[in-house]
């Protein structure tokens, strides 16, 4: 298993305490948890003590830019972050509480997943969010 510092280096980022902490917080949250920036901040502070909001946001931005972190931005809820990247999985979001869970890549015949015309764009990703109610809110 590659260390957190190695992942940063491989992505061309300088290894800093806050960046390592942000990645570790997201890693330890696991696949079914998608953390808000506030959750990440709380986790980072739990590890490092005093870290500013801005520093944490800057880390998230740098990590996202280096494709080590993925941001999910469901309409009407705060952005959520995860460190599960590169597999183009999808998300289901609860309309009531905002809980966000991973949905494996959708295969099959849903016609909307294959654009009939993309106006000349070369498509490499489809961002799919399924909306509904989580088990707790049903
Ligand atoms: Zn819910
Ligand atoms: Zn996810």
Same-domain check for residues 68 and 42: yes
Distance 95 CA to ligand 2 centre (A): 17
Query: Is residue 138 in some structural domain?
Result: no
Query: Using one digit for the tens of pLDDT, what is the confidence trace for 3-61?
Result: 999 999 999 999 999 999 999 999 998 756 799 999 999 999 999 999 999 999 999 99
- Provide the pLDDT for residue 80: 93
CATH (domain of 23): 1.10.10.10
Counting beta carbons within 10 angstroms of the beta carbon of residue 102, is it exposed (0 to 12), middle (13 to 18) or buried (19 or more)?
A: middle
Give the residue-averaged pLDDT of 99-111: 73
CA of 45 to the centre of ligand 2 (A): 23
Q: How far apart are CA 98 and CA 94, in angstroms?
A: 5
Ligand nearest to the CA of 101: 2
| pTM assigned to the model | 0.82
List the shell of residues around ion ligand 2, using CB closer than 5 Å: 82, 102
pLDDT at 108 over 60: no
Distance CA 128, CA 21 (A): 29
- Ligand nearest to C-alpha 136: 1
Residue 31 Cα to ligand 2 middle (Å): 6
Q: Are residues 22 and 62 in the same domain?
A: yes
Would you state the pLDDT for residue 114?
66
Residue pLDDT, tens place only, 52-75: 999 999 999 999 999 999 999 888
Q: Whose CA is closest to 44, among 58, 71, 26, 68?
A: 26
Considering the domain boundaries, does residue 137 fall inside one? Answer: no
Q: Say whether both 67 and 99 belong to one domain.
A: no
Total domain count, the chain: 2
Distance CA 38, CA 29 (A): 14
Contacts of 119 (CB under 8 A, 6+ apart): none
Domain region containing 95 = 90-132
């Amino acid at each position: 298993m590659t260390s957190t510092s190695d992942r940063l280096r491989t992505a061309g980022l300088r290894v800093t305490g806050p960046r390592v902490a942000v990645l570790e917080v997201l890693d330890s949250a696991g696949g079914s948890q998608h953390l808000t920036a506030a959750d990440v901040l709380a986790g980072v502070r739990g590890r490092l003590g005093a870290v500013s909001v801005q520093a944490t946001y800057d880390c998230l931005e740098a990590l996202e830019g280096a494709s080590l972190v993925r941001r999910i931005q469901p309409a009407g809820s705060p952005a959520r972050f995860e460190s599960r990247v590169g597999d183009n999985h999808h998300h289901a979001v609860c309309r009531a509480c905002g809980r966000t869970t991973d949905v494996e890549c959708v295969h099959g015949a849903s016609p909307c997943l294959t654009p009939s015309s993309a106006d000349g764009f070369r498509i490499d990703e489809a961002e799919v969010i399924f909306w509904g109610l989580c088990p707790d809110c049903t």
